[in-house]
């Protein structure tokens, strides 16, 4: 199965529905660009989403009053189901 298809939503009739970001990326990638530019774009996208994830983690950290002790507690928890290790 095509990599893009794994992230597509489907209407009732099984027709793929692209999100707005997928449509924009398809427009962008419809033209051939040098490999160096492709790598720059991939870096920009990954940095953007990493920043968003970091911002959300900061928000959760503040909202839940987490601290270093919380992180140490989580690091020492054993939450895997029995028999999974």
Quote the pLDDT of residue 13.
62
- pTM (two decimals): 0.58
Q: Which residues contact 36 (CB under 8 A, 6 or more apart)?
A: none
Quote the pLDDT of residue 12.
59
Mean pLDDT score, 3-10: 51
Output DSSP code: residue 16. Answer: E
> pLDDT tens digits, residue range 13-59?
667 788 898 888 888 778 888 999 989 988 999 999 999 999 999 99
> pLDDT tens digits, residue range 60-81?
999 999 999 999 998 988 877 7
Helix residue ranges per DSSP H, 1-85 = 20-28, 35-63, 68-76
């Amino acid at each position: 199965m095509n990599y893009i298809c794994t992230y597509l939503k489907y209407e009732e009739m099984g027709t793929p529905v692209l999100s707005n970001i997928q449509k924009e990326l398809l427009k962008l990638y419809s033209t051939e660009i040098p490999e160096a530019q492709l790598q720059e774009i991939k870096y920009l996208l990954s940095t953007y989403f990493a920043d968003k994830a970091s911002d959300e983690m900061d928000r959760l950290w503040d909202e839940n009053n987490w601290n270093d002790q919380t992180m140490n507690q989580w690091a020492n928890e054993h939450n895997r189901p029995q028999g999974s290790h």
